[in-house]
Structure formats: structure tokens, C-alpha cells
A and B are shown apart, each in its own frame.
Chain A
């Protein structure tokens, strides 16, 4: 059974860079699609982007200019960086894996979530 364990800084100041990582247990990141999703307090889900086993990445156009998702096969983990954060980036961030090897969705496995707060 695949398990995702995520971590990263929970409190940032405006203009700083959000950095989260997600370790994968019970499977290799060399296959499948690996996504990040976020959820502002009391609001809905927003897909941030994904990296995939064919060497590509896709991002939400609304965040594309500030986001980088990368993989680390040696440590079997993947990471999210979001630059120049503002209060609007305050959210619970989730890492996730596609259910099948063929596509980013549906999202079959999720990390536990990390609350990131942006405040001066």
C-alpha cells in the first residue's frame, strides 16, 4: 500500500518561497503521476500541478509562473516550491498520486496535509 508522508515549513512571510516535500513509501516515484493540491481554510480544492514518469510536468496556469515541482528518485520523494507567496497562498497543501500509472487523475493516494500560513 502506497503511503505519502509530507513535511515543510508551516509559517512564511510574504515574498518568501514555500517549500514542501513528500516522501513515498511502498512504491517508486519513477512511475505514476505525482501531484500537489491545496485547500485554503474553509474553501475548496485547487490542483497545483504534477510531475510524471515520462519526464514531464504540468501546472495550473493560475500558478505556473511561481511553481516548480520536482522529483528526487534517489530519495524517492518529490517537492513543491511556490515563490513570492502572499496571504492568498495560505492553505493546507496535499501531495498525491494518481490511481493508475497512465494519468494524473484520479487522485488515489494522499499525504496527510500541511497547513502553510503566510503572515507578516
Chain B
């Protein structure tokens, strides 16, 4: 199966900072890559799909890029409400697999 590796596993940044999370696939997945945000005690929420398409209602400070094996999620100006764990997920073929998650703190 194709493995998804996220880095870092956690980070701490200040309000207003630019934050970047990376996700690497063990094989090429084209742009079949999604990012989810999971706030503490909450259900995961889809942020970005097809690597760079912002889901409806998601703030524009979130962006995604990449194709093939290397992807990034960027928060252009970190806000207090962005404290969460972020997961990447590939969905080109079954089984769908998630990265291990990146915990973002302020």
C-alpha cells in the first residue's frame, strides 16, 4: 500500500505566523490528496482536495500545493482558531490512507 508521511508531527507557532506542513506519498498519487482539520474533541473537517482546491467555507488563509509525491498545506497567517491536528489523505485508490497528523499549537 502507498504510505503517507507527514512532517512535522507537531509544531508551535505564534499568531500571524506562516505555517507549512508537508506530506509525502511513497508512490505518485497525481493530485488525489486531501487535507483535513480536526479540532480537539471534534469531527475531522475537509479543508482542501485535489491537492489545492479549497473546500467551500474554508478561510482563504489555508492553501495547498503539490503533485505526485510531495504536498504542502500552508496557513498564511495562523489564527487562534487554527489550533488543531491536520491530516493529509490520499484517495487515488483503495485503501484510502491518512498521514500520521500534525498537531498545531500556539
Question: Chain A residues in contact with chain B, CB under 8 A?
Answer: 35, 37, 44-47, 49-50, 58-61, 94, 99, 103-108, 110-113
Contact = CB atoms under 8 A, between A and B. Distances in A.
Nearest to A64: B95
Most buried by A among B32, B98, B100: B98
B55 interface: yes
Nearest to A105: B91
A44 B91 contact: no
A99 B100 CA distance: 22
20 contacts: A44-B87, A44-B98, A44-B100, A45-B98, A47-B95, A47-B96, A47-B98, A49-B94, A58-B94, A59-B95, A94-B44, A103-B91, A104-B91, A105-B96, A106-B46, A106-B49, A106-B91, A107-B36, A108-B46, A108-B55
A99 B49 contact: yes
Interface residues of B, number: 23
Contacts of A112: 43
A106 B47 CA distance: 10
A35 B44 CA distance: 14
B89 interface: yes
Most buried by B among A61, A103, A105, A110: A105
A49 B97 CA distance: 11
A71 B44 CA distance: 23
A46 B97 CA distance: 7
Nearest to B1: A61
Given A104-B91, A105-B32, A105-B91, A110 B96 contact: no
